Amino acid sequence: MIRTLLALARLRWRLLINGLRGSRRDNMEQVSRISRLFVAALMAAALVPGAILLALLAFFGARGLAAGSPRAEPVLVGARGVLAMVTMVTMITPVLRFGGTPGSSTRLALLPVSRRSLHAAELIAQLADPWILLIVPALFAVVAGFLAGGDPAAAAWAALAGFAMIAFLGALGSAVSLLAALVFRNRRIGELAMIAVLLLVSMGAYIPIALQHRGGLFERRTHEANAQAIRRSAAALDPAVSPWLRSAPWNLYARAVDAASPSASESPALPTLGLAVAAVALAGLSRFAFSRLLDAPPERRNRSSRDATIRRIPGLSPTASAVAWTAFRLTVRSVRGRVILFTSPIPVIMIGLLWRRSLDEPAVRDLAGILVFSLGAILAMASLQTVFANQFAVDRAGLTLTFLGPASGRDIVLGKAAGGAMAYALPCAAALVAAAVLHPRGALSLWAAAALLVAAIYLVQAPVAALLAAAFPAACDLMKLRAGNPHPLAGVAAMLTVLLAAAASGGVFALTLWGTGAPVAVLGVAIAMLAIAAGIAAALAPAAARALDARRENLAMIAQGR
Amino acid sequence: MDLAIATQGLRRTFGDFTAVDGIDLAVPRGSLYGFLGPNGAGKSTTIKCLTGLLKPSGGTMRLMGIDPLAAPEQAKRLIGVVPEDLALFEHLTAAETLAFVGQIHGLDRATLRARSDELLALMDLDGAKGQLVADYSHGMRKKTSLAAALLPAPKLLFLDEPFEGIDAIASRQIKNLLLDYARRGGTIFLTSHILEVVERLCDHIGVIHQGRLAAQGPIDALRSGAASGETLESMFLRLVGATDGASRHLDWLGA
């Protein structure tokens, strides 16, 4: 059993190290690879001070509890918050990690190793999740704090509750990841499940707003009424008021620690036992999913009827049109692309709803719709940089097919820009409809000016994104969420380009309106800005095409993960 | 001799490693040329250089008389390729893949549709028209890649392991298709580890070993130069300096 666990641990370690090591084909690729590692190392390093800080707070809080100090109470509130966050992340991360493609369990099933050992390895591997590692020192620090405060009995209960919490998180992560693997065996169901999860997560951020708006989302309220609604919503989330929240795992741990202190009236046994039972139940669910995964054959076949026609796009060559339609199809069919398209209008709708209730100034209310649309369009463009800033490598093996055909770099760059524009038009249209429905005010010429400025921003970012995608490609799979990110340098630079272009456009819009007070003048300036943007795009496109042609060999290899 | 592929001193290095070391290929037009070699000998690298996926480190190349380095798009209009990794978009259907390739090659819509329907029927893929390539089996992917290579009616076809992972029925269909293609004047440059297939299908072979061309020419001429009755397998093993493995025994195996 131990030997098997060691072998599986060694396997995971080798996969990690080999993944980091990679290979180098040219200097640009070396820069690209080092910068990726640097970003990953920075993120990992950021966790260390966080873990130390949490451990220190936990130590002094537990020592205070042992001494009966009322100043230690906020530590328990903090512990609830941190553990709630880690529980949520542990629950969501495995789903995002699978992201629509089933993992291979065949190799595991062929090993002469008992399923119990394999499952144990799976459970233990979950404990290596960075979010769980973040809180483990804090859970031990609570034990040390009680010992330092001279209360060994409380320390023993805290240790038991801490182990139960760690076991719960490990079992939760394992159960969710294995259930996700089962669901994602069918690619289409997996994609739908992924989008549903992402939509739920996105919507979840607006639960507090929804709670405040229980009286009616379209109803206008005073500031006082808003404040009352916020207090009411906060009260609904208080475990003392809502009994169902008392049994949440983070509260069970906090209750066990609180009850372990000398002044407590509740016994720590019940919440600790509750946590342990939840861990065992989740481990059982994880075991069930694991067995199903090894036994049940994966489903692959899906039937649907699709129109294969590729229409020539006016102004583009047949080759560029073919590239454009393929780029568009990738965005609208991939998990990552669909998630971006489905989720980007959500914040816009929520902001539109909020502004509908809170904007009182007539001059601002007249611009609210235009602002909502512009914000939605910029947010969507920023989200789509995931695809645009890695537009060549996202094609994976398909990029080789493109390169095998008689397609020039110019055709590919133009086709990608046109395909991106078609995909980008979808969330823009959603934002426009939402803005027009929620805030149907403002001069038509101002709406037109906003749309033209959004087009101008797209025109400027398109060749920049192509240049970045050619210079810093990253192997990725848009069918998965976790493996769909662009190179960090390309992603950040593309995002900055969008924000700078948006700030410039927004500034020109505001200054012209403020200076002239004439919407038609704003429209005129927007037309001029669009012409300037077209000029910039025309100047940058050949450079992007040259960069693509110079890097074809590397791009094709990186796109396939080599 | 009228050559479909002519290279001189073709080289490709990766850092210190030389994958292809100055080979002079001479592939006659209308021939079925089997390019053989052990694993890692440089077959796929050679094909990648010839098809424009890798830039050669040295040497010259001509495909149907065109220098693919000087006029890559012109050369690519004349060739069809089934690469080792098949190079397919996962998120397209087979029909959409063919539409993409057809449009890139400038086929008009009627021609594209007619050829696409014929190829999908021939490859037995018309029943899976609505499925994405991501849902295809390996054999279906290979057939899709072959259909994409054939669609623009190329003069020269590069096939990297075309029969690997294909069932016997499809394999027979593809062999007949390739023979018919060669009879009509098309040139095929294929790699395969299945020497029986190469022996039955090809009229010319080239053997690459450690990046160098060990032998090249009409298969019958190469045979007649060797010991009488020598099979292609024996000739191949001799050229690459391999033993038949009989001298090595794993005593612990089956003990």
- CB proximity list for B201: less than 8 A, separation 6 or greater: B32, B34, B175, B178, B179, B190
The pLDDT assigned to A415 comes to 96
Main-chain phi, psi angles of A526, to 5 degrees: -65, -40
Which residue from B minimizes the CA distance to A298? B135
CA angle centred on A281, ends A278 and A283, rounded to 5°: 110
Here the tokens at position A273 are: 């036992």
Predicted-assembly ipTM surpassing the 0.90 threshold: no
What is the residue type of A461? Q
A103: closest CA of chain B, how far (Å): 14
Q: The tokens 């070391």 sit on which residue?
A: B21
Which residue from A minimizes the CA distance to B108? A318
User: Using CB atoms, which residue from B88, B103, B129 is nearest to A401?
Assistant: B88
Give B109's contacts in chain A (Cβ within 8 Å). Answer: 309
Here the tokens at position B163 are: 């029969």
The pLDDT assigned to A15 comes to 66
Contact (CB<8Å) B87/A300: no
Contact (CB<8Å) A333/B96: no
- Give the C-alpha distances (Å, rounded to integers) separating A320 from A317, A331, A413, B123: 5, 17, 8, 28
Using N-to-C axis directions, what is the helix angle for A362-388 and A444-471, rounded to 10°?
20
Number of residue pairs across A and B with CB atoms under 8 Å?
121
The ranges of chain A with pLDDT < 70 are: 1, 12, 15-30, 32-33, 36-37, 39-40, 95-111, 186-188, 191, 202-244, 296-309, 359-360, 363, 481-483
User: Using CB atoms, which residue from A25, A308, A333 is nearest to B99?
Assistant: A308
Contact (CB<8Å) B89/A330: yes
Using N-to-C axis directions, what is the helix angle for A488-516 and A444-471, rounded to 10°?
160
A325 touches B at CB < 8 Å: yes
- CB proximity list for A310: less than 8 A, separation 6 or greater: A321, A322, A325, B96, B99, B100, B103
CA–CA distance, A556 with B13 (Å, rounded to integer): 17
Q: Which site among A302, A306, A401 would you substitute to test the B interface, given the most B Cβ atoms closer than 10 Å to its Cβ? A: A401
Q: State whether residue A29 is helix, strand or coil.
A: helix
Q: Is A230 exposed, middle or buried (0-12, 13-18, 19+ CB in 10 A)?
A: middle
Q: Which site among A326, A396, A557 would you substitute to test the B interface, given the most B Cβ atoms closer than 10 Å to its Cβ? A: A326
B100 touches A at CB < 8 Å: yes
B114 touches A at CB < 8 Å: no
pLDDT exceeds 80 at position B243 = no
For A:380-409, CB contacts with B below 8 A are 395-408
What is the residue type of A53? L
Which residue from B minimizes the CA distance to A555? B53
Contact (CB<8Å) A397/B132: no
Give A334's contacts in chain B (Cβ within 8 Å). Answer: 91
- CB proximity list for A244: less than 8 A, separation 6 or greater: none
Dihedral angle computed from the Cα positions of residues A153, A156, A161 and A165, in that order, rounded to the nearest 10 degrees: 160
Give B85's contacts in chain A (Cβ within 8 Å). Answer: 397, 400, 560
- Give per-residue pLDDT as tens, B86-142: 889 988 889 999 999 999 888 998 999 999 999 999 888 888 877 888 888 888 999
Beta pairing, strands B156-160 & B32-36: unpaired
Sign of CA pseudo-dihedral A383, A384, A389, A395 = positive
The pLDDT assigned to A99 comes to 47
CA–CA distance, A479 with A490 (Å, rounded to integer): 20
Give B137's contacts in chain A (Cβ within 8 Å). Answer: 300
User: Using CB atoms, which residue from B76, B130, B137 is nearest to A304?
Assistant: B130
B87 touches A at CB < 8 Å: yes
- Give per-residue pLDDT as tens, B162-219: 888 788 888 888 888 899 999 999 999 999 888 888 888 999 999 999 999 999 999 8
User: Using CB atoms, which residue from A321, A400, A478 is nearest to B103?
Assistant: A321
CA–CA distance, B12 with A295 (Å, rounded to integer): 47
Contact (CB<8Å) B83/A318: no
B180: closest CA of chain A, how far (Å): 24
B148 touches A at CB < 8 Å: yes
Give the DSSP letter string of chain B: --EEEEEEEEEEEETTEEEEEEE--EEETT-EEEEE--TTSSHHHHHHHHTTSS--SEEEEEETTB-TTTSHHHHHTTEEEE-TT----TTSBHHHHHHHHHHHTT--HHHHHHHHHHHHHHTT-GGGTTSBGGG--HHHHHHHHHHHHHTT--SEEEEESTTTT--HHHHHHHHHHHHHHHHTT-EEEEE-S-HHHHHHH-SEEEEEETTEEEEEEEHHHHHHHSSTT--HHHHHHHHTT---STT---TTTT-
Percent of chain A predicted with pLDDT > 90: 39
Contact (CB<8Å) A404/B77: no
A545 touches B at CB < 8 Å: no
| CA-based nearest residue to A471, from A526, A390, A356 | A390
- Give per-residue pLDDT as tens, B54-67: 999 999 999 999 99
Cα of B136 vs its chain's centroid, Å? 22
Contact (CB<8Å) A404/B54: no
The pLDDT assigned to A101 comes to 42
User: Using CB atoms, which residue from B14, B101, B134 is nearest to A405?
Assistant: B101
A207 touches B at CB < 8 Å: no
B16: closest CA of chain A, how far (Å): 12
Cα of A273 vs its chain's centroid, Å? 34
Cβ atoms of A209 and A354 within 8 Å: the answer is yes
Beta pairing, strands B3-14 & B17-23: antiparallel
The pLDDT assigned to A365 comes to 76
CA–CA distance, A293 with A103 (Å, rounded to integer): 10
Contact (CB<8Å) A401/B103: no
| CA-based nearest residue to A403, from B182, B83, B127, B253 | B83
CA–CA distance, B118 with B95 (Å, rounded to integer): 11
Contact (CB<8Å) B89/A303: no
Give B73's contacts in chain A (Cβ within 8 Å). Answer: 406-408
Contact (CB<8Å) A479/B91: yes
A562 touches B at CB < 8 Å: no
Contact (CB<8Å) B103/A322: yes
Which residue from A minimizes the CA distance to B76? A406
Beta-carbon count within 10 A of A82 CB: 19
Which residue from A minimizes the CA distance to B145? A401
Contact (CB<8Å) B73/A408: yes
A297 touches B at CB < 8 Å: no
Element containing residue A496 per DSSP (H, E): helix A488-516
The pLDDT assigned to A257 comes to 86
Beta-carbon count within 10 A of B47 CB: 22
Which residue from B minimizes the CA distance to A330? B91
- Give per-residue pLDDT as tens, A219-247: 555 666 666 666 665 555 556 656 667 78
Average pLDDT over residues B23-31: 95
CA–CA distance, B13 with B141 (Å, rounded to integer): 30
Average pLDDT, chain B: 88
Contact (CB<8Å) A326/B53: no
The pLDDT assigned to A477 comes to 85
Which residue from A minimizes the CA distance to B148? A401
Cβ atoms of B73 and A406 within 8 Å: the answer is yes
State the DSSP code for A162.
H
Which residue from B minimizes the CA distance to A561? B85
The pLDDT assigned to B66 comes to 94
B91 touches A at CB < 8 Å: yes
Give A308's contacts in chain B (Cβ within 8 Å). Answer: 93, 95-96, 98-99, 116, 129
Here the tokens at position B53 are: 């996926």
A30: closest CA of chain B, how far (Å): 13
Contact (CB<8Å) A310/B100: yes
Beta pairing, strands B26-28 & B32-36: unpaired
B176 touches A at CB < 8 Å: no
Which residue from B minimizes the CA distance to A335? B91
The pLDDT assigned to A243 comes to 65
Q: Is A14 exposed, middle or buried (0-12, 13-18, 19+ CB in 10 A)?
A: exposed
Contact (CB<8Å) A408/B148: no
